[in-house]
Chain A
């Protein structure tokens, strides 16, 4: 029978067995030896993997003489849209025009396939702006192609253009496009370099893909990729292979040493003492390496968050957030409404995110934000309800002369315009003016 309760007993393995002396595997000396062993095998594993990776990815990288990179210094870029100045070899962009800037490179034509990678060094970037490399080719002459460049901090970074299907044929025109909010912080473009495949470029590309930073998005809560979409190799897989190979090499070394000792008939070295420590150290060091990358990501994210929100009141923080337009609109609407909660129905053809987010900011007003057919809406509205038309909503319009919200000539309801501003308008249902 199962006993739900057992009287407290001293566990035998705790109190009646003699206190063991320190087991040899746990001494300080053995720990240091195990740590050194694990670092050694991790280093060997890394060397083997990097060599193998380079050989596999670019088997001919050491064979033929690659073309020289096409390097465009910042001072050679022309500011087509935006404001800036030249400082030494760099271009310093100081302002965008209507959230946009275009910097074009001198006209050079080349075969895209010879330059699968673009390297660049851009300082002063932050997640508020997007930097893209654009180009045109002889085939896509009418349509400009774009590749959003990773942000990896103010250090040289690489991007794999060859991953883009449209990076092919003869390139006739290229440059840099910058969009977003510069936040009064100048951006310095030191250079862009279209680069041929090489060992250094490949490794820099892998490093850039692993450390590319993007700020929180609404999908962040669902998954953490750990690198860009479709990287050359995932950092997690690389970490697992690195640790796994190190463990395998260590085991092979142990087997080899054991056989050697047995053959030589020497006294057996107890290998179990350090085995678990070494394996655990290899695993933990690999985990720590991955975790350091994640910690750096969190620190960068925190920098961005501090930049956006630090030192501000709650209202100011909402006005700095990415839904500030909706928040500001909701605040204005609430000033026009009575203090007590009112029934409000939001109608919109926009993505439901906008309706729902506006509902959140209108609380504690009593808001309905579900999809509703126009006829049902007009039929269910009650006097003193409010209708908020967000964005454009062609099915219902307001007849200012009649003072009616109407779907068609036979479906209308008296209403008064209460408030109108981007991005919507608010009507009170009831007696028309």
Chain B
């Protein structure tokens, strides 16, 4: 995959050679987005981290990405999006390619995409980090958090297209196959599964899992009511869990209504993994523009997980690690559609996402010191161009 990414990056750089210089500039579009967030939990004694915040306050979350689109001709285009971000885990910084792919379009209804392509699942995967496209600073965690539902991009081949009838109905689709890296942090599951005796047992702190032989798709129905759409998504793939390959299947449904004043979204997803767990996540999110600049928003997130083969006694040590119930409210000021300042408050019951740093989860659970309730305040500024 790394070689493919480098190859496409090189192709992006040499694309100017395929076109006269003036023509190349006319055919290239450059956009980008960025943001910064500060988060702090209200309880300054909690060890829980959630989203971008913890008890000491975290100023370090920031991100930036450039979006490049080059129309080589009327049918072929190349898209690339390099990114950079820093986060609160040990002051991590990361950079790379969100995606880089070529798209050949025969018609509105049929196009081929090949490379590292944004994962088409649900509402937000294709615009994962673009803060000006959502009312809260962070995505709804019950579907888009590090729980193994979604990936940022698949590496492979896909087909996409859309058909719109004159009456206002339309349908758009994506079908794809290849490899998929899924965002996931399952230290809590491991702590429960290992039980109280951790002698000789280590924890895996990896935050992504690589799946292969993935087949997936998304179907979206656009209605004559402007801004209203419904969709279903799903994929299945395998990854090695020694000594065998384990299959994971994920599917979900979503609904969306976007008007000048309202932004209403609801989504649910189910994960059925032969790795020994089942996860259900859902959210509902509503935002309303009081004026052109001021916006209020509310969010309810819920997630429940079940672990196979783990005794009830072991789960009883910290059942909150399998649960996330969150209510959030936000107040946003939109200077323009491309620049917004957000303030939000989140109240969480459960520790599936709101938990100590991964290296401390085991010791906190062993010490019976896990706080199941977390309150977080987030401030952020997000932009796009």
Are A and B co-members of a single complex? Answer: no
Interface residues of B (CB under 8 A from A): none
